[in-house]
Each structure stands twice: as structure tokens, then as C-alpha cells.
């Protein structure tokens, strides 16, 4: 098995070897030239001495000849083969090149060049590290992006200033691919959701019909039984037993009403009523919210805040559906804050105003319902709009599903922001033509 080597390490080694090769070649060429020059100089000194001794028939001692030859020659030692032989006084003396002295002089003369070469090598190493990092960093980011996209996470990589043009094109292409994949996943989720809703609709419609008929009969029989008990009690027979029977019948009636409300909620989900789109003033929602939610807010010990960031906010919607939408979101918010008790102040805010569309484009009317509850866990955030999904002990799990269906039916958009400090739902609706759009609702 081959060991995997990163592209960055490979490029560092390549740049390092190139830099080292250039420095070694330049220094080697210069040092070789210097060495050759010194050998030539030593050869000329030897020729000059030999010619001088021959022309004038001179005889020198070995020490004098070594001095005349210069520092690059030395006398031979025992066993050495002389490269230069000089006849003086009928006796031959051998000499060899003093390579050690040549090297010492060569290094001394070229010390600045060697120093510059070493500094150049260090700079080249730093440049190799920098260039390899700059060239491989976009690739590492793209690798990370591919892993995230493969894991189902939509990501975008910002462009870097010093990356080559080809990397810019590659990053842009990957960002476009990620956006296309996210849109495709959203379409797949919508198709899957519609298929599930269609199957649920058929099942719930049949079950609701089968449940409502017996419930109606039970309700009629309960009312008749209550009337009979009242008649007997009026005749003076079993007053105490009659009172207990009334309490039990009342409990039975309330439970049947609760079951009937659940059935009605199921039916409203699978068979929503016809939407009537008319100009609606969002300003009217605030006094209605105060009247309808005030008692519930007192029950849950929640402070209700109503805000209006603009006047005469007219949108195209169905007023009854808007009220149902606000009621569902507000009740969910109050129920989510109820476990907090005295940990923090529980505040429910209902606000209206103008805001830009979440995906850009024209301004829209906006309804905001926010709370100071514990927020929605990221693990379940993607499921809260699924039918029958709930984290509460009681409830059908249809409240937010109905809200989403209402917003889609009105041609609006729904956004969710959640943190440990609270949750905010924003509903964006199309404005009536000619509506004011100069005031914005700050979130």
C-alpha cells in the first residue's frame, strides 16, 4: 500500500528541491570557476619558475622553490606522486597542488556569495511554503465543501483575493452546484411532504367521518340523560345522586367536546376552507390579539406586548385565516414558555409592519410573533412543520403545519429564527397595491 501524500507537502518538496537545485548550481558553478582559476594561476607560477631556472641556470633550495611557486604548491610527502618536477642542482624535487589551501582561499574569497546563497535558500524555502499554501488552500476548502455537501449540508465558500483565476472559477462553480443541490433537496422534501399529506388526508378524512358520527350520537344521548336527571331531581328524588351525576356528565361532555375539536382540527388540516383573498389591514390584528390572547396570557403568567411599526399596513390575505395563524403561533409560544416559571420574564410579542422579502425583492407586510422561551433545539428544527410532530404531552402536532399551509395558501413566506433566548416567527405577505412602504419593522 502506498502512503498517501498531501498535495501541499508534495508542492513544498518540489519547490524546495527547485530552490535548492538553483542555489547549488549557482554556487557550484561559481566555486568551480574559482577553483579552476586558482589551478591555472598555480600552473602559470610553475611554468614561470621552471623557465626562469632554465634560462639563467639557477639552483634553488626546496624552500625557495616552494616560496617562488606560491601557496598553491607544496612539497611531496612520502608515497605521493608529484604533479610537478623541478631539476635544481642536478637533483629533482617533486611538488603537488596544495588543494587544502586552494579551498581555504576559495571559501574566503567567495564568503559573501556563499552567505547570499544561504540566505537565498532560506527565502526560497519560505516562498515554497507560502506558494504551496496559497495554491492548495482553495483545494482544501473545496474538499471540505464536498464533504459537507455529501453530508447534506448546504455551504458556500467565499472567494479569496489572491487565488488564481482558475480557482475563482472552480469555487464559483462549486457554489452554484451547492445551491442547485439545496434547491433540489428542497423540491424533494416538498414532493415527499405532499405525498405524505395526500396519504394522511385520505386516511384522516375517513377516520374523522367515522368518529364524528358516533360522537354526535353520544352528545345527543348525554344531553338527553342530563335532561332526565334534571327532571328527576326536580321531583325531589335523589338530589345528592343527581348532583354527582351532573358532574360526571359535565366531564363526559367536555371530553367529547375536546375530542370533537381534535377531529375538527384534523379536518381543517386535510380539507382547508376556501381562501378568500381581499385587502386586509394588519392593524386590526393587534386589538383582536389583545382581546383574544389577554386571558390566555394571564393564565400562563405571560406579558403580552403588541407593537405597530407602521400604520395602515394593507396586505392581500384572508382575515379569518390570519387570525387563526396568529392564534396558533401565540398559543404555541405561551405553552413553550410555561416550563420556565420564574427563570426569566416571559414575554409574548405580536408586531406588524413592513419588511423586505426574505429572499430579496419587493417590500412586504409582515406579522411577527416572538417569545422569550427556551427556543427550538437544532435537532428538531427541521421537523417542527411536519404533521403530528409535537414535543408537548398534549396536542395533535398540527398547529405549525396548519400555519405553514395557511401562509403558502396566501402566497406568503414564513421564516423561523430560534435561539436559547427565544423564538421568532415572521410571516411575509404581499402588499395591496398603493400601500405605504416607508416604515420597517426592526426585528
pLDDT tens sequence across 256-268: 777 776 677 666 6
pLDDT at residue 110 tops 70: yes
User: Please, how many CA atoms are within 13 Å of residue 343, restricted to the half-sphere of its CB?
Assistant: 10
Residues 383-405 have a mean pLDDT of: 75
The pairing of strands 347-356 and 303-308 is: parallel
At residue 1, the pLDDT reads 44
In this prediction, what percent of the chain has a pLDDT beyond 90? 9
Residues 190-200 have a mean pLDDT of: 68
| pTM above threshold 0.75 | no
Closest CA to 373 of 322, 431, 334: 334
Where does 338-435 have alpha helices with state H?
Answer: 399-409
> Residue 250's pLDDT band (boundaries 50, 70, 90)?
confident
What is the longest distance spanned by two Cα atoms in the chain?
A: 170
pLDDT digits (tens, 9 = 90+) for 284-327: 999 999 888 888 888 888 999 999 988 889 999 988 889 888 98
DSSP three-state, residue 292? helix
pLDDT at residue 230 tops 90: no
All cell numbers assigned to 401: 403545519
> Could you give phi then psi for residue 328, rounded to 5 degrees?
-60, -45
DSSP three-state, residue 216? helix
- DSSP letters for 137-164: HHHHHHHHHHHHHHTT----PPPPSSS-
Amino acid at each position: 500500500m502506498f502512503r498517501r501524500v498531501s498535495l501541499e507537502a508534495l508542492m513544498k518538496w518540489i519547490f524546495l528541491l527547485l530552490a535548492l537545485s538553483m542555489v547549488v548550481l549557482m554556487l557550484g558553478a561559481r566555486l568551480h570557476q574559482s577553483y579552476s582559476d586558482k589551478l591555472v594561476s598555480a600552473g602559470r607560477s610553475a611554468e614561470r619558475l621552471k623557465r626562469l631556472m632554465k634560462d639563467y641556470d639557477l639552483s634553488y633550495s626546496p624552500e625557495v622553490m616552494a616560496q617562488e611557486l606560491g601557496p598553491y604548491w607544496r612539497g611531496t610527502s612520502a608515497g605521493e606522486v608529484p604533479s610537478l618536477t623541478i631539476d635544481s642542482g642536478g637533483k629533482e624535487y617533486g611538488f603537488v597542488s596544495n588543494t587544502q589551501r586552494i579551498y581555504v582561499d576559495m571559501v574566503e574569497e567567495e564568503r559573501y556569495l556563499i552567505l547570499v546563497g544561504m540566505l537565498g535558500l532560506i527565502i526560497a524555502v519560505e516562498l515554497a511554503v507560502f506558494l504551496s499554501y496559497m495554491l492548495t488552500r482553495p483545494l482544501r476548502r473545496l474538499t471540505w465543501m464536498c464533504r459537507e455537501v455529501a453530508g447534506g449540508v448546504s455551504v458556500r465558500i467565499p472567494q479569496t483575493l489572491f487565488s488564481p483565476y482558475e480557482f475563482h472559477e472552480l469555487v464559483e462553480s462549486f457554489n452554484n452546484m451547492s445551491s442547485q443541490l439545496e434547491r433540489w433537496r428542497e423540491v424533494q422534501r416538498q414532493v415527499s411532504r405532499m405525498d405524505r399529506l395526500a396519504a394522511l388526508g385520505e386516511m384522516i378524512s375517513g377516520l374523522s367521518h367515522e368518529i364524528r358520527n358516533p360522537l354526535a350520537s353520544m352528545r345527543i344521548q348525554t344531553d338527553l340523560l342530563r335532561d332526565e336527571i334534571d327532571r328527576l331531581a326536580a321531583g325531589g328524588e335523589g338530589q345528592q345522586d343527581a348532583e354527582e351525576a351532573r358532574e360526571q356528565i359535565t366531564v363526559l361532555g367536555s371530553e367529547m367536546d375536546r375530542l370533537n375539536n381534535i377531529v375538527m382540527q384534523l379536518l381543517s388540516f386535510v380539507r382547508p376552507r376556501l381562501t378568500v383573498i381581499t385587502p386586509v389591514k394588519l392593524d386590526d390584528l393587534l386589538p383582536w390579539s389583545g382581546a383574544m390572547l389577554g386571558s390566555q396570557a394571564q393564565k400562563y403568567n405571560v406579558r403580552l406586548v403588541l407593537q405597530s411599526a407602521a400604520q395602515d399596513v394593507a396586505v392581500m390575505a384572508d382575515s379569518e385565516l390570519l387570525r387563526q395563524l396568529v392564534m396558533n403561533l401565540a398559543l404555541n409560544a405561551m405553552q413553550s414558555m410555561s416550563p420556565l416559571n420564574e427563570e426569566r420574564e416571559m414575554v409574548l410579542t405580536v408586531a406588524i409592519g413592513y419588511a423586505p422579502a426574505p429572499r430579496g425583492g419587493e417590500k412586504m407586510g409582515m406579522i411577527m410573533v416572538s417569545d422569550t422561551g427556551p427556543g427550538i433545539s437544532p435537532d428538531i428544527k427541521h421537523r417542527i412543520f411536519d404533521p403530528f410532530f409535537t414535543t408537548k404531552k398534549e396536542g395533535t402536532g398540527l398547529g405549525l403545519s396548519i400555519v405553514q399551509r395557511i401562509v403558502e395558501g396566501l402566497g406568503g413566506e414564513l421564516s423561523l429564527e430560534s435561539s436559547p433566548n427565544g423564538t421568532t416567527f415572521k410571516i411575509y405577505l404581499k402588499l395591496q397595491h398603493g400601500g405605504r412602504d416607508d416604515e420597517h419593522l426592526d426585528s
